[in-house]
Chains A and B, each alone.
Chain A
Amino acid sequence: MRATAWLLCLHGCLLWAVVAHAQTPAPLRWGGDAEGGAPFVEADPSDPTKVSGFDVEIAELVAAQLGRPSQFIQIAFQSLDQSAGRGDFDIGLSGIEDIPARRQSLAASVPYYEFREVMTVRAADRERFRTLADLRGKRVATLGGTMAYDLLLEAERRHGLTAVSYDEDVHPYSDLANGRVDAVVLDHVLAERAMRRNTGLVTHVDALAIGHYIIITAPENTALRDRVDTILREAMRDGTLERIFRKWHVWNTDQPSLFARVLGTSGTPGTSGTLGTPGTLGTPGTDVPPGTLSALQLYLPSLFRAALITLSLSCFAMALAVALGSLIAVGRVYGDPISRALLTAYVEVMRGTPVLLQLFVIYYGLSSVVRLPAFIAALLGLGLNYAAYESEIYRSALEAVPRGQLDAARILGFTNFQALRLIRAPQAFRLALAPMTNDFVALLKDSSLVSVITVVELTKQTQIFATNIGSWLVPGLMCAAIYLVMSLPLGYLARRLEERWRMPGA
Chain B
Amino acid sequence: MTATLTVRNLHLTRGNRAILKGVNLDARAGEIVALMGLSGSGKTTILRVIAGLDAPDSGQVTAGKAGMVFQFHYLFEHLCAIDNVTLAPIHVRGVATAEARTRAQGLLEQLGVGHRAGALPRELSGGEAQRVAIARALAVDPPLLLLDEPTASLDPARKNDLGAALHALAASGRTLVMTSHDDDFVRQHATRVVVLADGLVVEEGEPRTVLDYPQHAATRELLQMERARHGVQ
Contacts and interface: CB of A to CB of B under 8 A. Distances in A.
Interface of A: 402, 404-405, 407-408, 410-414, 418, 422-423, 426-427, 430, 501, 503-504
Contact of A501 (B48, B68, B78, B137): B78
Contact of B122 (A404, A422, A430, A504): A504
A407 B74 contact: yes
Given A413-B93, A503-B122, 18 more contacts: A404-B70, A404-B74, A405-B75, A407-B70, A407-B74, A408-B68, A408-B70, A408-B74, A411-B51, A411-B52, A411-B66, A411-B67, A411-B137, A418-B92, A426-B78, A427-B78, A504-B121, A504-B122
B92 A411 contact: no
B87 interface: yes
B88 interface: yes
A432 to B, nearest CB: 13
A422 B53 contact: no
Nearest to A505: B122
Nearest to A415: B92
Interface in B122-148: 122, 136-137, 140
Contacts of A504: 77, 121-122
Contacts of A404: 70, 72, 74
A408 B130 CA distance: 13
B76 interface: yes
B107 to A, nearest CB: 14
B68 A411 contact: yes
B115 interface: no
Contacts of A418: 91-92
A427 B78 CA distance: 6
Nearest to B65: A413
Of B52, B67, B78, B137, the most chain A CB neighbours within 10 A belong to B78
A412 B146 CA distance: 12
B52 A503 contact: no
Contacts of B122: 503-504
Residue of B48, B68, B74, B136 with most partner-chain A CB within 10 A? B74
Contacts of B88: 412-414
Nearest to B67: A411
Contacts of B68: 407-408, 411
B219 to A, nearest CB: 30
B53 A427 contact: no
Give 8 nearest A-B pairs by CB, closest first: A404-B74, A412-B88, A413-B92, A504-B122, A408-B74, A405-B74, A411-B68, A427-B78
A402 B53 contact: no
Q: Is chain A's interface secondary structure helix, strand, loop, or mixed overall? A: helix
A414 to B, nearest CB: 6
A427 B92 CA distance: 20
Nearest to B89: A412
A445 B9 CA distance: 64
B4 to A, nearest CB: 16
Contacts of A402: 74
Contacts of B137: 411-412
A32 to B, nearest CB: 61
Interface in B70-114: 70, 72, 74-78, 87-88, 91-93
8 contacts: A402-B74, A408-B70, A410-B52, A410-B53, A411-B68, A411-B137, A423-B87, A427-B78
Contacts of B77: 405, 427, 503-504
B163 to A, nearest CB: 23
B140 A412 contact: yes
A402 B122 CA distance: 14
Contact of B76 (A407, A423, A430): A423
A504 B78 CA distance: 10
B92 A430 contact: no
Contacts of A422: 87, 91
Q: Which of A411, A422, A430, A501 has the most CB of B within 10 A?
A: A411
A389 B114 CA distance: 44
Given A427-B78, A430-B78, A414 B91 contact: yes
A225 B136 CA distance: 86
A431 to B, nearest CB: 10
A423 B87 CA distance: 9
Q: Which of A402, A408, A410, A418 has the most CB of B within 10 A?
A: A408
A283 B136 CA distance: 79
A410 to B, nearest CB: 7
A430 B76 CA distance: 13
A414 B67 CA distance: 13
A426 B87 CA distance: 14
Contacts of A411: 51-53, 66-68, 137
Contacts of A407: 48, 51, 53, 68, 70, 74
Nearest to B90: A422
B118 to A, nearest CB: 15
Given A404-B70, A407-B70, A504-B122, A412 B92 contact: yes
A60 B52 CA distance: 84
Contacts of B70: 404, 407-408
A35 B93 CA distance: 68
B92 A405 contact: no
Nearest to A404: B74
A428 to B, nearest CB: 10
A424 to B, nearest CB: 9
A503 B93 CA distance: 29
Nearest to B146: A411
A404 B67 CA distance: 14
Nearest to B142: A411
A430 B121 CA distance: 15
Nearest to A418: B91
| Among A404, A413, A426, A501, residue most surrounded by chain B Cβ atoms (within 10 Å) | A413
Contacts of B121: 504
B116 to A, nearest CB: 16
Nearest to A427: B78
A404 B122 CA distance: 16
A410 B67 CA distance: 10
A503 B76 CA distance: 11
A412 B76 contact: no
A61 to B, nearest CB: 75
A354 B74 CA distance: 42
A414 B92 contact: yes
B143 to A, nearest CB: 14
B21 to A, nearest CB: 24
A499 to B, nearest CB: 13
